[in-house]
Amino acid sequence: MDARDELQATIAKLVVAGKGILAADESLPTITKRFGALRIDSTDDSRRAYRSLLFTTPGAEEFIGGVILFEETLGQSLDDGTPLADVLSRRGIVPGIKVDKGTVPLPGAPGDFITQGLDGLAERLKTYKQKGARFAKWREIYGITDRNPTPLGIHANAEVLARYAAICQECGIVPIVEPEVLIDGDHTLERCQEVAEAVLHAVFAALNRYRVTLEGIVLKPSMVLPGKEHAPKAAPEVVARATLEVLRRTVPSAVPTINFLSGGQSSIEATANLNAMNAMAPNAPWVLSYSYGRALQDDAMRTWAGRADNVPAAQDAFLRRARMNSLARHGKWDAAMDNPSARQ
């Protein structure tokens, strides 16, 4: 199978109706912080136990088509010795891998950042592929102020995303292209929309320059939202309308799937906003789906709390959020479904 065929085979598994992507690729500092908030010790064993409970949740394969792993997790196994990547593959879930190395300030663009990790990426991808990974993820971030992101910041981050995507495709790995417009700040929804449109224009111009095959990527953008310090919050219909307007102006129809990040939204907000988009645009040229981390995991992590006897209840909580987002992927979710009285 050549690289293009590999890309199409992976995409086909990621776009199955009703499925999305679980982002379980938290870095060690991030998952340690989240565990710490719940008084869970962050150790190799506790991180392995937590991610194992997610990956072995009965029925999750109905709603999860792929999982983004952290490098540590790709090398971990169940107690019986089965590699976690194999656990996923055997359930029809595609393993993926986070490959960026985090952000640093961008010289010449105060307030903007750039992501590291391109050096040696091709060799790392070959190793990850041998361990079962079939797609990768790379995140660039764009903070919003009156001056940021700067034109240099927008251009430089787009170039890095495109170079990463081209390297992945040469290796037969599907790239998740993640330009995250951050929710931090007190900016308006209109300012976010302006930035999101400029960012995506630059990203697709760069992907074109690097001859990235658009049919073989996953786009993982932010939704268009006001800053978390800006009141009031936007209604789902408002978020959906603004986000769809940006996508229609910037994203070619050749892109097979858009899997949104939750980006600081609550679990319910992320589900409601995704549902509104699918209800508003049932015939969109792309699949509109999810690639959530906290918005899929928060209930499960709190329920688990680091205790083995809580695993079944935590898996129920994870399965419920996956099911809710699967409904939202079809525009068939309703807020009443998330009321405590509606829970099974």
pLDDT tens, residue by residue, 107-150: 999 999 999 999 999 999 999 999 999 999 999 999 999 999 99
Cα separation values, 240 from 141, 155, 237, 272, 335, Å: 21, 26, 5, 10, 16
- Residue 220 appears among annotated catalytic residues: yes
pLDDT at 176 over 90: yes
Q: What is the DSSP letter of 60?
A: G
Which tokens belong to 68?
Answer: 């983004």
**What confidence category does residue 4 fall into, taking pLDDT thresholds of 50, 70 and 90?**
confident
pLDDT tens, residue by residue, 304-334: 999 999 999 999 999 999 999 999 999 999 9
Cα separation values, 273 from 17, 54, 222, 247, 279, Å: 18, 24, 11, 15, 10
Q: Which of 140, 180, 220, 269 is flagged as catalytic? A: 220
164 or 4, which is more confident: 164
Please give the share of the chain, as a percent, with pLDDT higher than 70. 99
Residue in 312, 226, 340 with CA at minimum distance from that of residue 273: 226
**HSE-up (13 A, CA, CB side) for residue 175:** 26
- Residue 33 appears among annotated catalytic residues: no
Cα separation values, 265 from 21, 48, 282, 287, Å: 17, 26, 23, 21
Cross-strand partners of 77 = 83
Rounded distance between C-alpha atoms, residue 35 and residue 47, angstroms? 9
Rounded distance between C-alpha atoms, residue 72 and residue 24, angstroms? 11
Q: Which of 26, 178, 180, 197 is flagged as catalytic? A: 178
Q: What domains are there in the chain, each with its CATH number?
A: 3-342 (3.20.20.70)
**What confidence category does residue 344 fall into, taking pLDDT thresholds of 50, 70 and 90?**
very low
Question: If you average pLDDT over every residue of the chain, what do you get?
Answer: 96
